[in-house]
Amino acid sequence: MALLIDTDLLLDLVRGDAAPDVERVLGDEDRAISVITVSELLHGVHRAHGAIRVRRRAFVEHLLAGIEAIPITDPVARVHAEIWADLSSRGQPIGAHDLWIAATALAHGLGVATRNATHFTRVEGLRVVATVG
């Protein structure tokens, strides 16, 4: 099986934190990200200034060049609507970006690798590979 990597794990790499722990969590599984993660990473680039921005942009662009970004499609949007309705009816909503990442994973039969297991484990049928950080 493959894993969709949540932004929080990639931010650890961008900041230079916990690379061995991230690799341990991901193991030998194939890896991908959501286009939501692309946006979140680039948001961090745009918020940085000066030399930090230059280094961060270089790292993020290198990272993005080496991993598949899965787009939001009609099937992903349909799964998103189901998850959103289910979590809302149970009074257990999660953040909008996490909801899209979870929907992308489910629509493509992927697990999610994250430090934010609390949110993702609320999504029924989603395999969550978690690390604490």
Domain housing 93: 2-130
pLDDT for res 25:
75
Start-to-end CA distance of the chain, whole Å, equals: 24
> How many domains does the chain fold into?
1
| Torsion from C-alpha of 95, 127, 116, 107, nearest 10 degrees | -30
Residue 29 sits in a domain whose CATH number is 3.40.50.1010
Quick: pLDDT tens for 39-96: 999 999 999 999 999 999 999 999 999 999 999 999 999 999 999 999 999 999 999 9
The CA-based angle 60-100-91, given to 5 degrees, is 135
Token pair of 130 as six digits? 């978690």
Angle at 71 between CA 70 and CA 76, to 5 degrees: 100
At 12-29, the pLDDT tens digits run 777 666 666 777 778 888
Cα 97 to Cα 54, 60, 102, 103: the distances in Å are 25, 19, 9, 10
Give me the DSSP letters along 63-95. Answer: HHHTSEEEPP-HHHHHHHHHHHHHHHHTT----
Mean local confidence (pLDDT), 125-132: 87
- Amino acid identity, residue 94? I
